[in-house]
Structure 1
Amino acid sequence: MLSYFHLGVFYFLLILVVVPAFGQEPISVGDDKRIIADANVWHELDYSFDTSNLESKNKLAILKEAYEYAAVVPSLGGKSGSYFTKVVLDISQKGQYFVVVNANFIDVGLASYSSPVQPELSTQVFSQLLDDSSPPVLHFQAVTVQTVMANERVELWLFIKAKQFPTPVSITVLDSTEFYRFQKFNNGISIAGITTMFILSLLALLIYSGTRKRVALTCAGYLGIHAIGWMAASGMLGDIVHFPFNTSYWGMLLFPFAIACAAQFVSDLFECKTDHKKLFKFLNTLSLVSVVLGVGMWFMPFSIAYLLSHLLAMFWIVVTIAVGVSMIRQQDFRAKYFLAGNLLYSASLGYYIAAHSQYFGELAYPESVVIFALSLDCLCILLCLTEWFKLKQKEFNRNQYLSRIDSMTQLGNRFSLTECIEALDDYYVIIFIDLDGLKAINDKHGHDEGDKLIIKAASLLQQSFYFLGDIFRSGGDEFVGVLQADSTRETRNVADSALSIVSNVSMELSKQWSDAGVSFGIATSLETKVPSECISLADKRMYQHKAKSKHPRSG
């Protein structure tokens, strides 16, 4: 049999468990914050409870009467409906205190308190759905408690109603100093993160307006929908614009559309349509499923929509990390920012989950941590976009170079020559050059030797005319020099210099190939009206020079 001692211990332990379960154990509040964990704190109320005119004393009387027989729930995490509780606070200092209810999806909330020195009830309405004067705290709801003397015992009643309580609903009591510090930090991080997402999405839109590249548009959708979703989920949207419905649920309902844009962005970023066809099909399928899911979720019970959004989020994180690692292994370094951002975001979600589990206790600022990490992730996404454009710019420059440069001689080709001619000013000299003896060298020594002659001639011409102008290869063994001047006198001097230079080049070539030589014709802007006439005159003079040359022209 149990001794009286054992019975005493049993009843003592029973009191410790039962009294807090009914919310009647006073919570002492000093200079620092006090947290009431969501463990047998909330009582379930009939969902049909009329939430209109909550300030009515009759409503409070109904709550007090229901308190005696309403069932206590172990935790509100994952539940929906109407719940209420009574908390008795022993407040050591007089002044203003704030009670923060750790829940965001609150359609209706009522707070009412009284004390022996303030028997008249003071009531406040707080919610995302109704107009209220509660202190603005993103992701949370807060009410004020004003004491008029030290060591005042306050009886506080709280009533909340929502379609979904995704996490345990703890209660935190803060003095004014702690509350404003908490409000400043919590709201500051959230506003900064959401604003960053909006700015980055606008930058992506500006990039799209200038480039018309689809990757910039899908990036803007990815960033912008995330920003709108978190703006709604945090309660900021409802604080700015009053809607007749609770916009905080939109964060979950818009999420699938963000994933649809994200999947398309990943497909565009890594050019999956041409380079990774299986991944392209998978991402297109994921986008379609996300859009269908996103539309359907608006017609589902929110608890199901909430679950589906979180399952989609976890699946997407796995996909992004797998894609990022795969692209890094393939040395596609566009993935470096993509992978870093998603790893950071994944870590923040892990912290968020831990903060709302019973194993880690209440961790600080879980929502703000996620928003901050997501804003950095969005920055990384925009950096991925810039890397994409850098790569495209390099490809463009390379193609531009190849389209304008002769691959054999590394001189400008006909396209470059045309651009140069179009940019000529008033004074210039055109020299038309044709190699002599190329056919004979090809016949005797083969085309490889003929190519060596062309390369050697190009090198000598480029070095010799370096300070006077540009040399272009206009055909097989034909070159055109475009030499610019600033005056009539300088034009004549440049023409004389060109005559001397090309003669020296001809002699240099004949030293290595006895059959080689150069025929040329020189014309200046002083002799013609337009560049095309000048080129024709130089070409004509080249033929005249070749006719006098002992080397027959060969092509």
Structure 2
Amino acid sequence: MLYYFHSRVIYFLLLLVVLPAFGEGALELTEGKSTLVDTNLWYEFDNVVDVPRLQAIKSLESVNSALQTAQTMPSLGGESGTYFTKVTLSIPQKGQYFVIVNANFIDVGLASYSSSHQPEPTFQVFSQLRDNATPPLLHFQAITVQTTMDNEQIALRLLIKAKQFPTPVSISVLDSRAFYQFQKLNNGISIAGITSMLILALLAVLIYSGTRKRVALTCAGYLGLHGVGWAAASGMLNDIVSLPINTSYWGMLIFPLAIASAAQFVSDLFECKADHKKLFTFLRCVSVVSFVLGITMWFMPFTLAYLLSHLLAMFWIVFTIVVGVSMLKKNDFRAKYFLAGNLVYSLSLGYYIAAHSLYFGELPYPESAVIFALSLDCLCILLCLTEWFKLKQKEFTRNQYLSRIDSMTQLGNRFSLSECIGQIADDYVIVYIDLDGLKSINDRNGHDEGDKLIIKTASLLQQSFYSLGDVFRSGGDEFVVVLQANSAHGIQNAADKALAQMSHVSIELGKQWHDAGVSFGIATSLEAKGPSECISLADKRMYQHKAKTKYSNP
């Protein structure tokens, strides 16, 4: 590995001696910066810069002969391999300047500059793995050029090698002020975006740890893998962890795994397994295919892996927008954040493509724009997750309500009664009520009329005991009233009020159904050891009361 690197350095120094001056004229800075597009800028040297061939080169003449056959490239967009160029920079004032090679992946980057005042070449290495000589710059590498005189003409030579140049490789020259401003915005947006993705993923993991819901785990995979992928693609991973390999390629290789998680998240988010079976099947296929791609792409040529990742990205963006619109039409408001995030991400990808095309020229911060948009998309995805939990909470609350409320009378049912007596205080009164005349009314007038009698009884009981206690329907025609008291004296007052109110209820029912009424029994906490025993005593007294009244059922 060390021999390989030094061999390239030696060969590059030979290039500095024998290479003819490519291009004519000098690149001048305007307002502290200037950009040279890559049209016919780079020369191909794949047939020379190769370790076996490098070892076979024995003389300066053979190098010079090889250089004469070098082919100029219309553009490096979509190309791979090793390329060389020489440009002349016209520097207006002495000071420090920075040259940025606008390429996302650089495995080998060698630079040298000289001038009439500095005839001895200054050599620099600026590959993804060896960029410590200049201020860190995510997504790109920078070369430092130091001038000692005003209006100095700098001859700059560059050699770059990568497995893939996804876009045209232009060269930007900036003075110190312009460079640090660019660095601040480029690095700041990228670091903030990647950090936010990872933090949102951590929040999703914490949500999963508390809920054990799979949708939170797939959401964490969606967010976390995107964050890790962009941390690698931007060069941040290489800056944080010293690794002997160029991890900027990992962004493309991790992306299919992120889509595999994303497909599962979409399936869980919209509950496709239960509500959208065809979409569930399709998403499962997308997840499996993406996962297989995410594994196999590590073993295939990067050019092919790069193409497959971009095809998958284009498919996924279109697919998610279609799904978002479809779900929004179905009034599934979880889709509002989902659709908004993917629209923002789609627009950023359009800007990224435009920034690297020959038609729009250089547009500022394309990579940072994509990361920023993706971080907003990830925020929207987390909001989708919160909407999912809100919906589940509403469903749980509704089911809990229905499980404790009698649907006919809207009174608490037997479960609510059990909860109430489990939390009851020391002083209380229990009234056990049985409806009289219901069977005869059902037989004579039908069950609809009997239901009206039950509903009317419940309404009268609620009105009678509204400020005194709680009313429950414990069975078909049975009701229980629980009255709270503050003292033994309060218990007696509550029992007296209950007796009066029950007489009133019986009279009111008799006005509408002449053979209807109520039998009831009253028991207090002074007479029993606990609520259950008190209810049993009130039930026993209810039957005693029923036996004495003329409204008893046969």
Task: Name the TM tier (shorter chain).
Answer: over 0.9
Opposite residue 129 of structure 1, the aligned amino acid is L
Opposite residue 417 of structure 1, the aligned amino acid is L
Deviation at 1:78, TM superposition (A): 0.9
Q: 1:387 to 1:529 in 2, by over 3 A?
A: same
The more displaced of 86-95 and 302-311 is 86-95
Deviation at 1:473, TM superposition (A): 0.2
Q: Which runs of 4+ in 1 moved over 4 A?
A: 58-69
- Which residue of structure 2 lines up, in the alignment, with residue 433 of structure 1? 433
Q: 1:104 to 1:481 in 2, by over 3 A?
A: same
Is 1:225 matched up with 2:225?
yes
Deviation at 1:65, TM superposition (A): 8.5
Q: 1:174 to 1:131 in 2, by over 3 A?
A: closer
- Distance in 1 (alpha carbons) for counterparts of 2:517 and 2:251: 79
- Distance in 1 (alpha carbons) for counterparts of 2:435 and 2:74: 96
- Which residue of structure 1 lines up, in the alignment, with residue 259 of structure 2? 259
> Structure 1, residues 171-228: CA drift from partner, whole Å, max 9, x if none?
0011111111111111111111111111111111111111111111111111110110
- Which residue of structure 1 lines up, in the alignment, with residue 274 of structure 2? 274
- Which residue of structure 2 lines up, in the alignment, with residue 363 of structure 1? 363
- Once the two structures are superposed, the pairs formed by residues 286-435 of structure 1 within 5 Å of their partners are 286-435=286-435
Q: 1:24 to 1:135 in 2, by over 3 A?
A: farther
- Which residue of structure 2 lines up, in the alignment, with residue 514 of structure 1? 514
- Which residue of structure 2 lines up, in the alignment, with residue 97 of structure 1? 97
Do the aligned partners of 2:21 and 2:86 also contact (CA within 8 Å) in 1?
A: no
Do the aligned partners of 2:325 and 2:339 also contact (CA within 8 Å) in 1?
A: yes
Do the aligned partners of 1:338 and 1:380 also contact (CA within 8 Å) in 2?
A: yes
Opposite residue 407 of structure 1, the aligned amino acid is S
- Which residue of structure 2 lines up, in the alignment, with residue 529 of structure 1? 529
- Distance in 1 (alpha carbons) for counterparts of 2:464 and 2:163: 83
Deviation at 1:70, TM superposition (A): 2.6
SS in 2 for 1:129: coil
Q: 1:157 to 1:41 in 2, by over 3 A?
A: same
Do the aligned partners of 1:223 and 1:378 also contact (CA within 8 Å) in 2?
A: yes
Is 1:197 matched up with 2:224?
no
Q: 1:37 to 1:316 in 2, by over 3 A?
A: same
Do the aligned partners of 1:124 and 1:134 also contact (CA within 8 Å) in 2?
A: no
- Distance in 2 (alpha carbons) for counterparts of 1:59 and 1:209: 66
- Distance in 1 (alpha carbons) for counterparts of 2:520 and 2:39: 98
Opposite residue 307 of structure 1, the aligned amino acid is L
- Distance in 2 (alpha carbons) for counterparts of 1:432 and 1:62: 110
Do the aligned partners of 2:194 and 2:227 also contact (CA within 8 Å) in 1?
A: yes
Q: 1:426 to 1:277 in 2, by over 3 A?
A: same
Opposite residue 286 of structure 1, the aligned amino acid is V
Q: What TM-score comes out, normalization by structure 2 length? A: 0.92
- Distance in 1 (alpha carbons) for counterparts of 2:316 and 2:83: 34
- Distance in 1 (alpha carbons) for counterparts of 2:48 and 2:297: 25
Do the aligned partners of 2:41 and 2:75 also contact (CA within 8 Å) in 1?
A: yes
Structure 2, unaligned runs of 5 or more: 1-19, 52-57
Deviation at 1:528, TM superposition (A): 1.3
Opposite residue 28 of structure 2, the aligned amino acid is S
Structure 1, unaligned runs of 5 or more: 1-19, 52-57
- Distance in 2 (alpha carbons) for counterparts of 1:354 and 1:525: 81
- Which residue of structure 2 lines up, in the alignment, with residue 455 of structure 1? 455
Deviation at 1:121, TM superposition (A): 2.3
- Distance in 2 (alpha carbons) for counterparts of 1:207 and 1:547: 60
SS in 2 for 1:145: strand
Opposite residue 299 of structure 1, the aligned amino acid is F
Do the aligned partners of 1:259 and 1:287 also contact (CA within 8 Å) in 2?
A: yes
- Which residue of structure 1 lines up, in the alignment, with residue 139 of structure 2? 139
- Distance in 2 (alpha carbons) for counterparts of 1:62 and 1:452: 107
Deviation at 1:46, TM superposition (A): 3.5
- Once the two structures are superposed, the pairs formed by residues 5-154 of structure 1 within 5 Å of their partners are 22-46=22-46, 49=49, 69-130=69-130, 132-154=132-154
The more displaced of 438-447 and 211-220 is 438-447
> Structure 1, residues 88-138: CA drift from partner, whole Å, max 9, x if none?
111111111111110121011112112222223222211112363222111
- Which residue of structure 2 lines up, in the alignment, with residue 4 of structure 1? none
Do the aligned partners of 1:30 and 1:91 also contact (CA within 8 Å) in 2?
A: no
Opposite residue 225 of structure 2, the aligned amino acid is I
SS in 2 for 1:120: coil
SS in 2 for 1:291: helix
- Distance in 1 (alpha carbons) for counterparts of 2:511 and 2:470: 25
Do the aligned partners of 1:429 and 1:491 also contact (CA within 8 Å) in 2?
A: yes
Q: 1:289 to 1:231 in 2, by over 3 A?
A: same
- Distance in 2 (alpha carbons) for counterparts of 1:331 and 1:165: 44
Q: 1:64 to 1:363 in 2, by over 3 A?
A: farther
Deviation at 1:59, TM superposition (A): 13
Do the aligned partners of 1:47 and 1:81 also contact (CA within 8 Å) in 2?
A: no
Q: 1:515 to 1:160 in 2, by over 3 A?
A: same
- Distance in 2 (alpha carbons) for counterparts of 1:464 and 1:145: 92
Q: 1:68 to 1:90 in 2, by over 3 A?
A: farther
Aligned residues: 531
- Distance in 2 (alpha carbons) for counterparts of 1:534 and 1:284: 58
- Which residue of structure 2 lines up, in the alignment, with residue 244 of structure 1? 244
Q: 1:261 to 1:21 in 2, by over 3 A?
A: farther
SS in 2 for 1:220: helix
Q: 1:47 to 1:265 in 2, by over 3 A?
A: farther
- Which residue of structure 2 lines up, in the alignment, with residue 206 of structure 1? 206
- Which residue of structure 1 lines up, in the alignment, with residue 487 of structure 2? 487
- Which residue of structure 2 lines up, in the alignment, with residue 186 of structure 1? 186
SS in 1 for 2:109: strand
Do the aligned partners of 1:21 and 1:72 also contact (CA within 8 Å) in 2?
A: no
- Distance in 2 (alpha carbons) for counterparts of 1:124 and 1:290: 40
Do the aligned partners of 1:36 and 1:172 also contact (CA within 8 Å) in 2?
A: yes
> Structure 1, residues 481-531: CA drift from partner, whole Å, max 9, x if none?
111122222222212211111111111111111111111111111211111
SS in 1 for 2:321: helix
Q: 1:84 to 1:429 in 2, by over 3 A?
A: same
Deviation at 1:309, TM superposition (A): 0.3
Q: 1:310 to 1:77 in 2, by over 3 A?
A: same
Opposite residue 319 of structure 2, the aligned amino acid is V
Deviation at 1:443, TM superposition (A): 2.2
Q: 1:64 to 1:231 in 2, by over 3 A?
A: farther
Opposite residue 28 of structure 1, the aligned amino acid is E
- Which residue of structure 2 lines up, in the alignment, with residue 10 of structure 1? none
Opposite residue 44 of structure 2, the aligned amino acid is E
- Distance in 2 (alpha carbons) for counterparts of 1:99 and 1:445: 96
Opposite residue 249 of structure 1, the aligned amino acid is Y
Do the aligned partners of 1:21 and 1:40 also contact (CA within 8 Å) in 2?
A: no
- Distance in 2 (alpha carbons) for counterparts of 1:516 and 1:61: 120
Do the aligned partners of 1:469 and 1:484 also contact (CA within 8 Å) in 2?
A: yes
CA-atom RMSD in angstroms: 2.2
Opposite residue 104 of structure 2, the aligned amino acid is N
SS in 2 for 1:242: coil
- Which residue of structure 1 lines up, in the alignment, with residue 501 of structure 2? 501
- Distance in 2 (alpha carbons) for counterparts of 1:535 and 1:61: 111
The more displaced of 486-495 and 146-155 is 486-495
- Distance in 2 (alpha carbons) for counterparts of 1:177 and 1:504: 90
- Distance in 2 (alpha carbons) for counterparts of 1:153 and 1:81: 30
Q: What TM-score comes out, normalization by structure 1 length? A: 0.92
> Structure 1, residues 409-443: CA drift from partner, whole Å, max 9, x if none?
00011011111111112111111011111122222
